Structure 1
Amino acid sequence: MKTILSLLFSIALLASNLSFAQTKPDTVKTTELKELALEYKKPKIIRKADRIEFNVENTILSSSNAWEIVKRSPNVQTSADQLSVRGSQSIIVTINDKRVSLTGEELKSLLQNMNGSDIKSVEVITSPPAKYEASGSAVINIKMKMNRTKGYKGSVNIGYEQGIYARENIGISQYYKAGKFALSGSYQFGTGIYYNEIKEVINYPEQHQQWENILHRKNKRDAEHTYRFNADYAIDSLNTLSLGADGYIAQKNHALYNVPTYIYTADKNLQSYFVTQNNRQTPNSTINYNVQYEHRSSSREKLTTSAAYTDYHYETSQDVKTDYFMIDPRSQRFLTGNEQHIRIFTAQMDYSTNKQWANFETGLKYSLVKAVNNLDFLRDINGELNNDPLLSNIFRYDEKVLAGYVSAGKDWKSWSIKTGLRAELTSVGGSSIHPEQKNVQRYFNIFPTLFIQDKLSENHQLSFSYGRRITRPVYNYLNPSKSYFSPNSYLIGDVELKPAISNQLSMTYSYKNKYAAELYYIHEKNPTSQLTIQDNVNNILIQKITNIPGNDYSGLSLSASFDPAPWWSVNLQGGPVLQLNDFIFSDGSRLKKQKWGANGSADMQFTLSKKSGLTADINFMFNTSRLQGPAVAGSTSNLSLGMRKKLFADRAEITLSLQDIYRGEKFKVTSFYKDQNNYYTYYGDTQRFRLSFKYNFGKNTIKARETKQKTDEQQRL
């Protein structure tokens, strides 16, 4: 940590001295500067019939990285390093239409290591057309520029981040093209401590007790490896073969949780307490390989075949010891070993043609998923470890999906229309030893889409979209085993979870592609929800994964993008939302809830000095309280500041950022209905300071051409 921090400040000091030095450049350097010089323009928003395209080519944003560009794209919000669209985190991220299997921190690390200068645009697709897989609520597609210039270029980056605990990273990104070959890749190494704090308060009315505990999760990751590689071979002008791989490997993850629990009487007197220590090891990896072959029979006709394989491996071993005090002093200990292995194979074929009568697309896709979860539960009885067969389990899950789609679109002078139909046949099978359960499902679904756009005039535009989507359960949510965190809390899944089906409608009016108002309605049937349920008889808090009958969202989304001054750019978005929630209790009774809320964000970028390459940005976002099953999640907000300085004739940059300045991301979830009376607060160490440095080397002239591949892969890890 000290080495990286010292190196960062040394680079900053050297850079500041060199950037202001008045030296006469030689001929070679002058040539390079001419090659690198770009006339920056403002990011452009293009509203198409089925998506919003955020064009950042040769803009101020192109000097940053992919993560900064994505989170500033229309309709996209970030919270605790999670991307969301319209408040939903059930999204798919693709690069040149190739799905990225990473999520959360791993996805952020990958995108931060991608140069913004290599990005042409970001497509935000709130109702994906038929060629995209039907899962997820939205797609964020990053379109990369393709380099036709021969030679080598790359960048190195180093960063230091400080919250309650520190994190560091160092990485490299490279590109090389010679003849018919083009190679690109990136690698990022990270280390540090990921911390969060959870406080739980549970009121047990029958015992007239209140239980309080505070969990400090200090997860240390000694070595995180994130990488991406792609190789293209142009066989000839009409045929291209591509190979790719991306992944995340972290084999040295460990943590020690210390959880004191205090039991109070009704008049707030301490009755007893116990302390739980949880020593955890969590090595994990996600590795994805893909191959594609593209054949163009003409400039209007294209056939693409592709295949992908994903290997996901996650282990959790924990040694949990609880010491009880005051009343009935004793100790209790158990150990668990949980190994999850998921393998995913997909193959697909896509055909597209540009006819005079329409743009036509069709394709087939097959996906196969095999998941195995092996849980061993050992009790410490008088110093001897004994396997508990009732709490140990082997869970197996298989899934096959065969999909086909057809889509057609047509553009007229002022009208555009695109429609499609996707059909998916799904077969699933899950089996568990303890509890002994088996579930076999076979279902067929169709997913129609419709997009209509009317250019009323040069400045006014009206569009309508409809789409039907499916959200299949996360694989480990299907496991009915009890996963204990302590003697008094566990997580349990459901082998009979159903997929959620949603219907989405929206109508959007836009003015000059800068201002927009969107009315939308989303109905979800059988959405999956994680519910907190207190067992008032045994004093146990259960995190239960289950389907709830339905959710309804309707709202108004307003957005504006404008420049109050040549040096000042502003992007605003937000609006009200009405949420309706339907929930059925174990006794058959029903609870319906309704809640109004709002969300919004403001992103401002400032060019403080164009000559010296000094820029700054301010970002603010907020979400009011919202329903989470029968519970209510509290409001959150985030104010972040950043500053960037170009160095070494724009070849390098140093960035300073302050995130979640006043800890607005801390939130509270309250369950208060029937015999449920509990709440918890959560803070994920989001108040952070970050200092980073990046240096670009080699040729940096890029010419854009149309991206190639259109493929997705099945992934719900």
Structure 2
Amino acid sequence: MKIYYAIPYLFLGNLIWAQQVQKDTVKSTEIKEVVLKKKTLQKKSDRMVYDVGNSPVAKGNNGFELLKQTPMLSSTDDKSLKVLGKGSTKIYINGKAQTMDADAIVDMLKSMPAENISKIEVITVPSSEFQVEGNEAIVNVILKKKSSDGINGNVKIEDQIAKSNSATLSTSFNYRKGKFGLQANVNGGKIVRDQYYILTNGNDGGAQPFSLKSEGDVVSKFGQWGGYLNMDYQLTDRQKLDFSFQHRDKEEKPSTTNFINELRNSGSLFEITQTLNTTNSKVSNQSYNLGYEWLTDDKGSKLNANASYMYFDKTGVNNNSTVLLNTQQQPVSILKQFNQSTPLRINNWALKADYVQQLKSGHVLSAGLAYNNTLTDSDTRFENILPPTGLDGNQSNHFAYEEKIYGIYGTWEKKWSDRTNTKLGLRYESTNAEGNVLDKNIQIERKDGDWLPFASFNYNMNEDHQFSTSFSSRVRRPSFWALNPVKIYLTANNYIQNNPFTQSELVYNTELQYIFKSSYFITASYGFTDRALEQVPLSGMKNDGSGESVLAYISTNYGTKKEFSLSFGMQKQYFKGIWQMNNSLVLGYNQYKGTVYGDPTDTQNLVTFQKYELDRQSQFVQLQLNNTIRLSPQKDWYLGVNYFYLSPIELVVGKMNTLHSLDLSLKKMHKNWTFSLEAKDVFGTNKNYIKGSDGFGNYNIVDQNQYNRKLVLGLTYNFGNQKVQKVKKSESANDDVRSRTGS
């Protein structure tokens, strides 16, 4: 991006006046325009900073779409973000980690006008002061803030036309008066998400091969509303208070799953059934954060203190029935019918304090401590409608769980010169957890203590060549929802089984990065995970004499995982800013090894599962091309051409086929209005197909169409005084809890 500055005449005023005193005649001086290039991509000591400012990419877009087009970030499912094609991503807003559940954070980003965003910081290997889980990267979204008294904001309306229609409305505004500042957003909408599944599992290697195929629609209908409020007050020149609040309500009314199931033995059709599931649920999620900052000297030393509270409450009832059909798919009799309530309540309190001391000769010392206390409660009830009617004690449970995490860290950073920087850190985390299945007298106790070192080194040869390397180790704890030992049924014999006996992962990451002219980067990274945790598909047979087969996705620690990637990227403008390119290529290698012997929650031996041996390795290629082309000299028409490609890749559950998608967009700016039209997944190629096998003839296939091909219409209006500046950053205390609340 080029910014043009005409040099003011007063810049030479004193010199010209001095000459006029001695001369009767003043010669005219020609002042030429000076052109400065603003770096939109900069590498700082521990992060990459993408300055979006008033970029045309941001105009008329939402926050999630803008993040997808940020260097090193990508999304293949429109629900999650990945850094350099690997791991998960923790979202920060203005330096505060978002503690809402994962779906709520994505919905918030999608409702946030991209015009509100000033900068995006990508931290691929977080240092010791950050609370992260496993190999999580950090993306910090810095919102714009008014630098003068007054108010500004925007209103955004969006309509998505796919198989069904969805509409959302969002309004945001900034206000500043003296020492007080406020940012607020309110959003809501009615969403319909359609999916079509073909689920197949069976055994083709035994004496009596069989297969079970379930095919049908999954339709989620829900209304939601929410928003956020950020406030700050400058107590003195050195002290500041800030407060933030986030809220989200979501109500499904209802969501339906309708599967036709065909069971075949030795290739012949044996039985046809229909499984119909309807879900009515409500989710309320709230987060509060209070922060204090004190600048203790003029060198940048400061004290930060933070207190947070997060509340998550989900109530839901699933009505499930399986009906026997004849060959004409007409109902014959009801085989199974039940209601299942799956509530989940999470309360989290957190405290955090950090102190940074700037010393002489470029030394920086920092230290901090953190405390998290989380209480979860889930009273799952499984009620049979058919005889034997009533509550099923084997599939009902009341699970209560408490987890306390104590953390302490220290870092030392030294700037040896303008070119060289070193940072070392050490973090210790202690986890004390107790879980109880109250109605079955099952107790789980976990006490872990982990030392987690960090090291980084940065060398800037000159403005054109920058090198950095880093190493970190982290703990990844299981999600709270996955600890509740409950079955979530897809069909009568195909379900997800959560597991309270899972252990935390130990994750080690190292990275080497080179940046050329602040526009091109090469990154090599390696990650190793011990006690790797995933949902593993297990095939089994019921022990009730029925001979029915079962496919269960068990949350468990299966073994080890290795990940290696080599990434090439660029962020560049051509033809005086007419064509803006943001492209990346990832070459990756993954390896999974381990063995799962059964379901540890099946204490009554209801199912006999076969051993699942995992020994997979995979090479893959991921390509992402983002292009924005200015169509008019007035800078009011823009064309977007975006494409991503992911080659076949091995996952724990099986091999996923190629994914790729072409997205096109057209934007028109007129004064304070932005009109946008987007065509996503133009050729309808973004579909999931995964096939896995266990080496014993058992296989499972997931064929999923999420109807990603859609037309999106958007309208954004900006109002008020548009003078903005970046917001000072402040971390949240309970940031390591956020990623464990979503499902």
Common topology (TM > 0.5): yes
Query: What amino acid is the match of 1:676?
Result: N
Query: What amino acid is the match of 2:702?
Result: Y
Map of 1:72 onto structure 2: 69
Q: Does 1:613 align with 2:613?
A: no
Change (3 A) 1:51 1:72: same
Change (3 A) 1:439 1:108: closer
Matches within 5 A, 1:88-127: 88-102=86-100, 105-127=103-125
Shift of 1:66: 2.6
Residue number among 708, 713, 718 corresponding to 1:686 in the alignment: 708
Please, which moves more after superposition, 152-161 or 582-591? 582-591
Given that residues 146 and 722 in structure 2 are in contact (C-alpha distance below 8 angstroms), is that contact kept between their aligned partners in structure 1?
no
Q: Equivalents in 2 of 1:272, 1:116: separation in Å?
A: 52
Q: Does 1:527 align with 2:550?
A: no
Shift of 1:158: 0.8
Q: Equivalents in 1 of 2:666, 2:102: separation in Å?
A: 24
Change (3 A) 1:564 1:446: same
Change (3 A) 1:297 1:466: same
Q: Equivalents in 2 of 1:499, 1:654: separation in Å?
A: 47
Q: TM-score, normalised by structure 1?
A: 0.90
Please, which moves more after superposition, 155-164 or 529-538? 529-538
Map of 1:15 onto structure 2: none
Shift of 1:270: 3.1
Shift of 1:705: 6.2
Map of 2:573 onto structure 1: 563
Map of 1:416 onto structure 2: 421
> Secondary structure of the equivalent of 2:296?
strand
Structure 1, unmatched stretches of 5+, are: 1-38
Shift of 1:279: 1.6
Q: Equivalents in 2 of 1:53, 1:114: separation in Å?
A: 20
> Secondary structure of the equivalent of 2:236?
coil
Matches within 5 A, 1:263-302: 263-267=263-267, 269-299=268-298, 300-302=300-302
> Secondary structure of the equivalent of 1:477?
helix
Q: Equivalents in 1 of 2:233, 2:404: separation in Å?
A: 32
Given that residues 348 and 375 in structure 2 are in contact (C-alpha distance below 8 angstroms), is that contact kept between their aligned partners in structure 1?
yes
Change (3 A) 1:588 1:322: closer
Please, which moves more after superposition, 143-152 or 574-583? 143-152
Please, which moves more after superposition, 115-124 or 304-313? 115-124
Q: Equivalents in 2 of 1:286, 1:710: separation in Å?
A: 16
Q: Does 1:500 align with 2:505?
A: yes
> Secondary structure of the equivalent of 2:75?
strand
Please, which moves more after superposition, 669-678 or 63-72? 63-72
Map of 1:85 onto structure 2: 83
Please, which moves more after superposition, 555-564 or 226-235? 555-564
Q: Does 1:246 align with 2:239?
A: no
Q: Does 1:405 align with 2:428?
A: no
Given that residues 132 and 712 in structure 1 are in contact (C-alpha distance below 8 angstroms), is that contact kept between their aligned partners in structure 2?
no
Given that residues 154 and 717 in structure 2 are in contact (C-alpha distance below 8 angstroms), is that contact kept between their aligned partners in structure 1?
yes
Given that residues 41 and 59 in structure 1 are in contact (C-alpha distance below 8 angstroms), is that contact kept between their aligned partners in structure 2?
no
Map of 1:346 onto structure 2: 350
Map of 2:317 onto structure 1: 317
Map of 1:427 onto structure 2: 432
> Secondary structure of the equivalent of 1:298?
coil
Residue number among 35, 41, 50 corresponding to 1:54 in the alignment: 50
Change (3 A) 1:324 1:107: same
Q: Equivalents in 1 of 2:82, 2:220: separation in Å?
A: 25
Q: Equivalents in 1 of 2:365, 2:58: separation in Å?
A: 33
Q: Equivalents in 2 of 1:104, 1:690: separation in Å?
A: 23
Map of 1:180 onto structure 2: 179
Change (3 A) 1:642 1:711: farther
Residue number among 680, 685, 692 corresponding to 1:659 in the alignment: 680
Q: How many residues align?
A: 674
Matches within 5 A, 1:486-497: 486-497=491-502
Query: What amino acid is the match of 2:678?
Result: S
Map of 1:217 onto structure 2: 218
Q: Equivalents in 1 of 2:657, 2:36: separation in Å?
A: 41
Please, which moves more after superposition, 588-597 or 542-551? 588-597
Given that residues 675 and 714 in structure 2 are in contact (C-alpha distance below 8 angstroms), is that contact kept between their aligned partners in structure 1?
yes
Matches within 5 A, 1:452-531: 452-531=457-536
Change (3 A) 1:118 1:588: closer
Question: For each residue in 1:345-382, what CA deviation from the matched residue of structure 2 results, as whole angstroms up to 9, or x when unmatched?
Answer: 11111111322231222111100010011111111135
Map of 1:628 onto structure 2: 651
Shift of 1:89: 4.9
> Secondary structure of the equivalent of 2:81?
strand
> Secondary structure of the equivalent of 1:548?
strand
Given that residues 283 and 314 in structure 1 are in contact (C-alpha distance below 8 angstroms), is that contact kept between their aligned partners in structure 2?
yes
Given that residues 146 and 707 in structure 1 are in contact (C-alpha distance below 8 angstroms), is that contact kept between their aligned partners in structure 2?
no
RMSD between aligned residues: 2.2
Please, which moves more after superposition, 663-672 or 320-329? 320-329
Q: Equivalents in 2 of 1:552, 1:265: separation in Å?
A: 39
Q: Equivalents in 2 of 1:209, 1:588: separation in Å?
A: 19
Query: What amino acid is the match of 1:173?
Result: S
Given that residues 159 and 714 in structure 2 are in contact (C-alpha distance below 8 angstroms), is that contact kept between their aligned partners in structure 1?
yes
Map of 2:691 onto structure 1: 670
Map of 2:236 onto structure 1: 236
Query: What amino acid is the match of 1:666?
Result: K
Shift of 1:416: 1.2
Q: Equivalents in 2 of 1:625, 1:207: separation in Å?
A: 31
Query: What amino acid is the match of 2:364?
Result: N
Map of 1:362 onto structure 2: 367
Q: Equivalents in 2 of 1:480, 1:440: separation in Å?
A: 15
Structure whose alpha-carbon radius of gyration is higher: 2
Q: Equivalents in 2 of 1:510, 1:201: separation in Å?
A: 46
Q: Does 1:167 align with 2:174?
A: no
Change (3 A) 1:404 1:80: same
Change (3 A) 1:466 1:302: same
Matches within 5 A, 1:586-605: 586=597, 590-605=613-628
Please, which moves more after superposition, 234-243 or 529-538? 529-538
Please, which moves more after superposition, 289-298 or 599-608? 289-298
Question: For each residue in 1:559-606, what CA deviation from the matched residue of structure 2 results, as whole angstroms up to 9, or x when unmatched?
Answer: 122234221011111121111110203177854222111112111111
Shift of 1:628: 1.9
Change (3 A) 1:361 1:522: same
Change (3 A) 1:243 1:591: closer
Query: What amino acid is the match of 1:580?
Result: Q
Map of 1:582 onto structure 2: 593
Please, which moves more after superposition, 231-240 or 56-65? 56-65
Question: For each residue in 1:43-80, what CA deviation from the matched residue of structure 2 results, as whole angstroms up to 9, or x when unmatched?
Answer: 61112232111122243334344323322222100122
> Secondary structure of the equivalent of 2:108?
helix
Matches within 5 A, 1:133-172: 133-136=131-134, 137-172=136-171
Change (3 A) 1:710 1:252: closer
Given that residues 625 and 635 in structure 1 are in contact (C-alpha distance below 8 angstroms), is that contact kept between their aligned partners in structure 2?
yes
Question: For each residue in 1:408-445, what CA deviation from the matched residue of structure 2 results, as whole angstroms up to 9, or x when unmatched?
Answer: 22221321111211111111111224665321111111
Shift of 1:693: 0.3
Change (3 A) 1:370 1:709: closer
Map of 1:646 onto structure 2: 669
